[in-house]
Amino acid sequence: MTRQRPLRGWLMAGWIGVLAGLLDTGTPILHPAPAEAIPLGISLYAVVGIAVYLLASLAVRPLRGLLGGDAPSSIALGLTTAAFAAFLGFYFVSTSTWSFLLARTGQMVGLALAVVLALTLGALVAWLAPRTPGPGRYPLAAGLLVLAVLVYPVLMTVHLATAGGAAGEDASPQGLVIVSLDAMRGDRITALGYPRPTTPHIDELVRTGTAFSAAYVESPASAPGHASMLTGLPPLTHGLVQNTGILHEDIVTVAERLRAEGFATAALINNYYLESRFGFDQGFDLFVDRYQASHLSGFHPHHLLRATALFHTWARLAREPGARNDDTIDGALAWLRHRPADRFFLFLHIMDPHAPYAPPPDLEAEFCGPDGPIVRDTLELRARQKHGLSEAEIASLRDLYDADVALADRKVGRLVAELKRLGLFEHTLLVITADHGEVLYERGRIFNHGLPWNGNLHVPLVFHLPERAPAGLVVDHPVPATALVPTAFSLLDLPYEAQAGPPSHAPLLESGTFDAPDTLVFGLTGITAQDAATVTSPSRKLVVRQGEIAGFFDLVTDPTEQVDLWPLVRDDPARADECETAVRMQRALEGWLARTGAAAAVAQPSRETAVDADTRRRLRSLGYVD
């Protein structure tokens, strides 16, 4: 009997864990875990329950001689139950706000009943644990617990043995990988003229692929920029014109188009404005945000861990909301290894170029010097930017940014290495781009997305696909980054229905020449009176606010847009030609706004969504919310 007593304690602790796993993965208000996550939740929680019980048993061992009998085992099981209750309670509190709770009264009642049931059953199990369950019931309970613990490892083993891996000799893989380097400036690529060694891995893609050195986004903010990146549509057409909008379900995304063509689709993102609640999961079989799988179709064992509160709560405890991590790149590489089909689309979002800057020590030393940066708190710098920053502070800020760019480049290198190892690199169209750039005090402002300056608008755009994207071709004429969508479909020989967005760059890639020297690229920073629209030519840049010209710049002699030429040319008869150029650009911009706005009538503009207190806290850590 004495030997059986600890085994029965382990058994009951394991079943307490099973109950907690069911509560976590089966209660939507705690976490929107997909059904595929339930086997993992049960297995993981059962193992953790036994581990917690063992630790609790060690803690109460000194009481054995004092209390005797079954009391220490009961106390240990009580501690195990309390640990799970506290754990789930912390997760619930840390992911909820009062407005969230008040809007879900029915779910709250259900949750309260579930918690009461869990605690009642846990206490009952703890009280019954030292008692003999009977000759027939004890082996049955133990056997069922073993099955519960092993079900996920068995499923994962079967999956690993039958799916993914390197491409075989007879396989014909075809892939598209779009890498979004959040807040990556287009002028930071070494192979395109930047004097510092920030991007050795991207440089190799430029040398062996095609690069656009003057690519501009049509909206310099995360949500609108990514919406254009994933739809090929201008902001007014897809309707998402600000960071708190929702991408309407009627808008067709790249993922939806490719899934209709038989592609497996996955997205791993690390930006709060791109979460599934904002509609960015449309068309993805797997969509991972906030370190968890908020949308999951099919069986992808590596990512199921993200669908349990255990991992999510650990992430909240161990990481600041804006902290850097390797989670997205690790998940992307794992998905490539175990992809469910040879035709695949991976959208990988890398946050590292984005503030707050947190490069590793070696990159910090390389770019900031042996003494390190004199500034670190980018949010503090932003708070006093209007009062002026010193030259040393500005230089240090830019050093930190370059180091963070180099960190993002390392992750691109890891992705390329894995594609090569799997035999996919030669068959995959790899696109490197960004949702927007970053302003680094060129015009007295730092980290302020949405401003109409080229620090925000100019982004990288690199296509790499052997035998399709000409090696070493660099296009210096302005192009809209949004055109990557039709260009990608053309390079992959996939059908693409024409939309209101910009045309494909594929004809240019095929000919290697550019026959449109007067190409204009348009942009829109929002739709309020404070926002601006822009138009960029190979040599000029025009900014318009409320229908009036607010800036006119010579990009050849003034690439950082320091000198506004409009007051100089507006009333000077000797510069009438420049004035006419500005007026023509303004008319072209008005035509673009009219065309894209008219197309929005069909697209149905997106709805705005509220940003709750928890989201505001996270966005504030990234500098988005004042």
Question: Alpha-carbon distance 41 to 48, whole Å?
Answer: 10
**End-to-end Cα distance, the chain:** 64
| Of 400, 404, 352, 408, residue with least CA distance to 376 | 400
**Dihedral of the CA atoms 19, 21, 23, 27 (nearest 10)?**
-160
176-509 — its CATH code? Answer: 3.40.720.10
- 500 in Cβ contact with 237 (< 8 Å): yes
- The single residue listed with the structure tokens 């095929």 is 510
- What percentage of the chain exceeds 90 in pLDDT? 40
Question: Cβ of 64: how many Cβ atoms within 10 Å?
Answer: 13
Residues contacting 52, CB < 8 A, separation 6+ = 13, 17, 79, 80, 83, 84
Q: What is the H or E stretch that residue 294 is in?
A: strand 292-296
Peptide bond into 466 cis (omega under 30): no
Q: How far is CA 571 from CA 565, 567, 575, in A?
A: 11, 7, 8
pTM of the model: 0.81
Say how many C-beta atoms besides its own lie within 10 A of residue 165's C-beta: 15
Q: What pLDDT is recorded for position 621?
A: 46
Bridge partners (DSSP) listed for residue 432: 179, 462
Of the listed ranges 70-74, 106-110, 290-294, 351-355, the one predicted with least confidence = 106-110
Give percent of the chain above pLDDT 70: 74
Place of tokens 């909206």: 219
Listed by start position, the domains of the chain span 4-162, 176-509
pLDDT 10s digits, 59-109 = 887 776 666 556 777 788 888 888 887 777 666 665 555 554 555 555 556
Could you tell me if 293 and 286 are in contact, meaning their C-beta atoms sit under 8 angstroms apart? Answer: yes
pLDDT of residue 56: 86
Question: Residues 413-436: pLDDT tens digits?
Answer: 999 999 999 999 999 999 999 999
User: DSSP letter at 605?
Assistant: P
Residue 313 vs residues 305, 391, 609: alpha-carbon distances, Å: 12, 42, 25
